[in-house]
Chains A and B, each alone.
Chain A
C-alpha cells in the first residue's frame, strides 16, 4: 500500500538554526507531494506543493522542499528557525489529480530560544 513516512515524531531546534523535517514516500511512481503546517488549535495550512515542475519548491514563511526521485524523498527545510515556526508539520502525497491525500504521522517542531 502507498504510504508516507516522516522520520522523527518530534524535532527540536534552537532559534536561528537550520530546520530539517524528513519525508519519504513508498511508491516508485512519483506522486504529487505536499507539506502542511498545523498551529495549535488550528486547521491545516498548505506550506508548499510539488506537482512535477521544478524539483526545488519554495513555500510560505521561508520554507522550501526538494523532490529527490532517486531517494523517494521530499524533505522540508528552512535555513533559520523562528519561534513562530513551532507547530506540527505533515507531509502528504496524492497519486491522482483530485484524489485522496495520504498523510504521514506528523512531526512536531519545537524551537528553543
Chain B
C-alpha cells in the first residue's frame, strides 16, 4: 500500500530534550515536506526537500532541522524543544516533476513539550 509513515503518533517530552520524528514513504517520491498544524493557522511548512541531500526552509523553520540521506526518509529533528513547538506535525510527499497530484500525508505526530 502506498503510504507515508510517521512515528511516533504521540509524544510528550520535556523542554530541551532532543527528539526526532521519523517519516518514510514507499512511493519513490522526490519531494517531501514537513508541516505543523495549529488551530486557526492551518498548516504551515517547516522544511522541504526536493531530492536526496537537497533541503530548504519553509515558512516556520526556527527550532527544527531535517536531513535527506535517502530518498524514502525525511526525519524532523528538534534539537532543543520548547513549549511553543507543541503542535500536530505532518509529513507529506509528492512527485516533483509531474502535474500536482497533491501530497500524500502521514497520519500525524502530536507533540507536547512541557
A: residues with CB less than 8 A from B are 4, 9, 32, 34, 36, 42-46, 49, 51, 90, 94, 96-101, 103-106
Q: Does B108 contact A (CB under 8 A)?
A: yes
Q: List chain B positions with a Cβ less than 8 A from chain A.
A: 4, 30-31, 33, 35, 40-45, 48, 50, 58, 90, 92, 94-103, 105-108
- The A-B contact count (CB < 8 A) is 69
**B100, A103: Cβ atoms closer than 8 Å:** no
- Show 21 residue pairs from A and B whose CB-CB distance is below 8 angstroms, ordered by the A residue: A9-B40, A43-B90, A44-B43, A44-B103, A45-B105, A46-B102, A49-B100, A51-B99, A96-B100, A97-B97, A97-B98, A97-B99, A98-B96, A100-B58, A101-B43, A101-B45, A101-B92, A103-B35, A103-B42, A103-B43, A105-B42
A98: B residues at CB distance < 8 A:
30-31, 50, 94-98, 100
Tell me which residues across on chain A come within 8 A of B42, comparing CB atoms.
4, 90, 103-106
Query: With A and B bound together, what is the CA distance between A103 and B31 in angstroms?
Result: 17
